[in-house]
Chain A
Amino acid sequence: SAVISQKPSRDICQRGTSLTIQCQVDSQVTMMFWYRQQPGQSLTLIATANQGSEATYESGFVIDKFPISRPNLTFSTLTVSNMSPEDSSIYLCSVVSSSFSYEQYFGPGTRLTVT
């Protein structure tokens, strides 16, 4: 299994500002993803963080709002830009194991509140 850490664990931000969330994995992984969980909702995939190239975004999510970096195989950042109260959510990064099972592991999440 993979051990994933995220920083910060939580934050309260003013509308119109930006927050960068970091995700660190204890081993090299090919596939890394960012998910959002809005209050009372399930998880929705934001994007696939690709090492060495631009992230691949799901429908409804755009790079200008959620820029993602993936400088190497153990680290990624997600920025939530120009925040509004609707961005208040838990943001989670995940990785897929390198074995054939494709088991997925999640970080502890970043709880963001926008006021």
Chain B
Amino acid sequence: KQEVTQIPAALSVPEGENLVLNCSFTDSAIYNLQWFRQDPGKGLTSLLLIQSSQREQTSGRLNASLDKSSGRSTLYIAASQPGDSATYLCAVMTTDSWGKLQFGAGTQVVVTP
């Protein structure tokens, strides 16, 4: 059974610092890994999707890497802003569970002005 872990559970940084969020998974037979952002009481916004054959994806200040063999992904957010304050979730889709996502518990990020 796939287990997804996110470390740290919470993170507080001053504005301008880079953010590093970690995600690990136990079953390397994944199809893809997706990073989401969730604001309090709201739905999920997809940030980046990495296919199992890819090593990284970039979108603006966001960069996500994937090391499938070691079961790890890292989300980097450059030059953080107070608007980046949210909970960040990673989720994996394994090859035997098409469409179904297994989520980590999330990292709650606070960026202070």
Contacts and interface: CB of A to CB of B under 8 A. Distances in A.
A27 to B, nearest CB: 16
Given A31-B99, A48-B100, A102 B43 contact: no
Contact of A108 (B32, B42, B51, B101): B42
A111 B34 CA distance: 23
Contact of B105 (A31, A42, A45, A103): A42
B64 interface: no
Most chain A CB inside 10 Å of its own CB: which residue of B45, B49, B89, B100: B100
Contact of B31 (A45, A94, A102): A102
A29 B99 CA distance: 12
Nearest to B44: A106
Interface in A30-44: 31, 33, 41-44
A56 to B, nearest CB: 10
Contacts, number: 59
A92 B44 contact: yes
Interface of B: 31-32, 34, 36, 41-46, 49, 51, 89, 91, 93, 98-101, 103-106
Contacts of B106: 42
Contacts of B34: 103-104
A106 B43 contact: yes
Contacts of B104: 42
A19 interface: no
Nearest to B50: A101
Interface in A1-46: 1, 6, 31, 33, 41-45
Given A42-B104, A102-B99, A109 B42 contact: yes
A103 B34 CA distance: 8
Most chain A CB inside 10 Å of its own CB: which residue of B31, B34, B43, B46: B43
A108 B41 CA distance: 9
A66 to B, nearest CB: 16
11 contacts: A41-B105, A43-B89, A48-B100, A102-B32, A102-B98, A102-B99, A104-B93, A104-B101, A106-B46, A108-B43, A109-B42
